[in-house]
Amino acid sequence: MTRVFVNFPIRDLKKSTHFYEQLGFKKNELFSNDHSSAMMWNDNFWIMILTYDFYKQFLKDKAIADTKTTSGTLIAIEMESIDAVKQFAETAKEHGGDYYHLDHGIPEDQMYGLEVQDPDGNMLEPTWMTPTS
């Protein structure tokens, strides 16, 4: 199985590490240091949170987008239930993030998701979908 590593620029490593831990991610100390935290959702999906200075090293001549005003990506994460989606979003809000709901006209018993922002404005989409099998 292929692992997916998403990299997010963040301003405050300690605050962001705590935020992701509260959402249910586990910090992998082996791949973390003073400039980044490796946050594992499961064995196959990790979010690497990197301080701005460290993140910039990977960009060559590009600037870091201000994710509070500009969207660069939306990362969807499948959840086991609608309640899990709602709890994920509420936990994010309790720890410095925020969320909102978009009505796409899809019945909730078919698909439900929320748009969740971390304290730096990076976007996650916890989503539940009707099982297909």
What burial class does residue 69 get, using C-beta atoms within 10 Å of its C-beta: 0-12 exposed, 13-18 middle, 19+ buried? exposed
Do 1-60 and 74-133 come out as alike in CATH topology? yes
114 or 74: which leads in pLDDT: 114
Mean pLDDT across the chain: 94
Q: What is the pLDDT of residues 74-110, one digit of tens each?
A: 899 999 999 999 999 999 999 999 999 998 888 888 9
Which one-letter amino acid corresponds to residue 106?
A: I
Instruction: Name the CA radius of gyration of the chain, rounded.
Output: 15
For the chain, the structural domain boundaries read 1-60, 74-133
What CATH code would you report for 74-133?
3.10.180.10
Q: Which pLDDT band, with edges at 50, 70 and 90, does 132 fall under?
A: confident
Q: Which pLDDT band, with edges at 50, 70 and 90, does 59 fall under?
A: very high
Question: Which fold would CATH assign to domain 1-60?
Answer: 2,3-Dihydroxybiphenyl 1,2-Dioxygenase; domain 1 (3.10.180)
Question: Rounded to whole angstroms, how far apart are CA atoms 41 and 20?
Answer: 9
